[in-house]
Structure 1
Amino acid sequence: MRIDLHAHSSVSDGTERPAGLVAAALAAGLDAVAITDHDSTGGWDEATDAALSLGVALVPGMEVSCRTAEGISVHVLSYLHDPTHQGLLEEITKAKDARLSRAEHMVSLLAEDYPLSWDDVTQHVAPGATVGRPHIADALVAAGIVGDRSEAFATILSSRSRYFVQHYAPEPALAVELVRAAGGVPIFAHPVAEARGRTVGEATYDDMIEAGLAGLEVFHRDNPEARRPFLLDLAERHGLLVTGSSDYHGAGKPNRLGEYTTEPEVLAEIERQASGAVVVRPKHPGAPDSLSRARG
């Protein structure tokens, strides 16, 4: 089986609708794909219908945006959690509201130096999605200011830029606790992605593990190969799962579905630990009429 456990739709910052994401997974030869939009489960229903129709297994998930006390960005992938869990919902809603205010502030700063307006940015946001840096990047590309999203994030929109504005996000350990409380399985996404900015020290890993961290996304294009042995050793020492994923965003980034994959036994263990939702598996000939679907 070919399993990709990290992909985004237009519900957050991908360029394809949830159904389009599932169709792209099928075209890429995947047996299973996870929908992990930033701080949102809004694409689950559409993706579920597409998975059942197209014959691709779907892992309902979400990517929770976090930040340490030192200001280091951390992302936690949540798989198979209850999308109606009040504590987790409250925290991600607070973060989404802060992200919108941050985006407005960043655009106002950019407008002082570049021909960019808020309307230019919102043209790149799908209905129901929260405006974020990727949408600002798309507007910069459309205006001819940068060549693509990658250039935008490496320059104008980087955390080192004068246009960058921080926003509220939960501490990583709190996010892990909330995911577990919601019956989900938390995985630390691209933990040593140094090109994105500062990465955390072992104290943060220790705090997340104590809070219930289930695993590490080791095989990801943004994790330098030289740092992966550290992650594999950490996983072995603490009994953590090891995943591999693409972090696909459609046309928004160069990442391709299935460029890294996760072993079937790892997905099976994620399912064993989860109690908030289930993997959506299409019906096959001779199977019972009941189908596994995500709750909510």
Structure 2
Amino acid sequence: MGVTDHDRPHPDLEAPVVERDGVTIVHGIELRVETPSQRIDLLGYGLDPTPELRAETERLARNRRERAHEIVACLEAELGIDLDLGIDGRTGRPHIARAVVEHPEADYQTVERVFQDLIGTDRPCFVPRAIPDFDRGVELLSGAADLLSLAHPFRYADPAAALARCSRLDAVERYYPYGADVVDQPLLESAIEDHGLLVTGGSDAHGTEIGAAGLDRADYESIAARISPEP
């Protein structure tokens, strides 16, 4: 099982691969990066964080805190409420949206509606994050991870442009619970063949429910062969 926290190494995983209660856990990270046309997510598996990566993730955590405070201040002014929300380096828009939904005076019933009306891109309380560009992201992860993969290519506005970036990566996330028939399978398979990619799978699980990633044994063994258990 891979654990890939957003923009941070997991604090409780001390090696690229660890054994816990009979489960093999691969330490990873999901790093959001900027390209000229859109923001995409890079996955690094078999993570042994370098000082450079730690410095960047600490900067991202500070930026995330500052951004969360700005968004909360805007929402409180916009809605005329006080949001009792503890903010730290992991606080993101979903946490803030849930706090709005749970507030008795906010009159919002769903997280999706909060995004649509208030905190989604170009909405009144949207605050962009300061993230590294693609080249810097690849540089940081190449020095710290055994395997680099493009996360969920069909969640982006331009999947073809995202998949073209795989020329600099080792793998692409073939299996992902998109929740709709949005996968252009020929486009995906063409990228895998053109760039000689391995394939990864992610359930995008948040919380206590662990999903199935979808890898068959051959795909799993190809990935496992690339990941060193030792730093």
What TM-score does the superposition give when structure 1 sets the normalisation length?
0.66
What's the counterpart of residue 238 of structure 1?
A: 195
Matching residue's letter, 1:274: I
Q: What CA distance in whole angstroms lies between the structure 2 residues aligned with 1:133 and 1:226?
A: 24
Q: CA deviation at 1:177?
A: 2.6
Q: Which runs of 4+ in 1 moved over 6 A?
A: none
Cα gap change, 1:214/1:151 in structure 2, threshold over 3 Å: closer, same or farther? farther
Unpaired runs of at least 5, structure 2? none
What's the counterpart of residue 53 of structure 2?
A: 88
1:173 aligns with 2:135: yes
What's the counterpart of residue 285 of structure 1?
A: none
Kept in 2, the 8 Å contact 1:192–1:224? The answer is no
What's the counterpart of residue 17 of structure 1?
A: none
1:249 aligns with 2:206: yes
1:214 aligns with 2:134: no
1:121 aligns with 2:108: no
Q: CA deviation at 1:169?
A: 0.6
Matching residue's letter, 2:219: V
Q: CA deviation at 1:121?
A: 2.2
Q: CA deviation at 1:151?
A: 4.0
What's the counterpart of residue 6 of structure 2?
A: 38
Kept in 1, the 8 Å contact 2:64–2:89? The answer is no
2:92 to 132, 144, 159: 132
Matching residue's letter, 2:210: L
- Provide the identity percentage: 27
What TM-score does the superposition give when structure 2 sets the normalisation length?
0.82
Matching residue's letter, 1:172: F
SS of the residue aligned with 2:79? coil
Q: CA deviation at 1:57?
A: 2.0
SS of the residue aligned with 1:159? coil
Alignment of 1:1-296 (within 5 A): 33-45=1-13, 52-53=20-21, 55-70=22-37, 72-83=38-49, 85-117=50-82, 120-122=84-86, 129-144=89-104, 145=106, 146-194=108-156, 198-199=157-158, 201-202=160-161, 204-206=162-164, 208-211=165-168, 213-222=169-178, 225-229=181-185, 230-250=187-207, 257-275=210-228, 278=229, 295=231
Deviations 1:35-67 (A, max 9, x none): 111112234339x9x9522x2221211111222
Kept in 1, the 8 Å contact 2:198–2:219? The answer is yes
Q: What CA distance in whole angstroms lies between the structure 1 residues aligned with 2:116 and 2:210?
A: 22
Kept in 2, the 8 Å contact 1:191–1:223? The answer is no
Deviations 1:119-151 (A, max 9, x none): x221xx6xx652211221221122154334344
**RCO (CA 8 Å, sep 6+): is it higher in 1 or 2?**
1
Number of residues of Structure 1 aligned to a counterpart in Structure 2? 227
SS of the residue aligned with 2:77? coil
Matching residue's letter, 2:91: V
The structure where strand makes up a greater share of residues is 2
Q: What CA distance in whole angstroms lies between the structure 2 residues aligned with 1:269 and 1:231?
A: 18
CA RMSD of aligned residues (A): 2.9
Deviations 1:251-287 (A, max 9, x none): 7xxxx63354223333333333334xx2xxxxxxxxx
Matching residue's letter, 1:268: E
Q: What CA distance in whole angstroms lies between the structure 2 residues aligned with 1:94 and 1:154?
A: 28
SS of the residue aligned with 1:81? coil
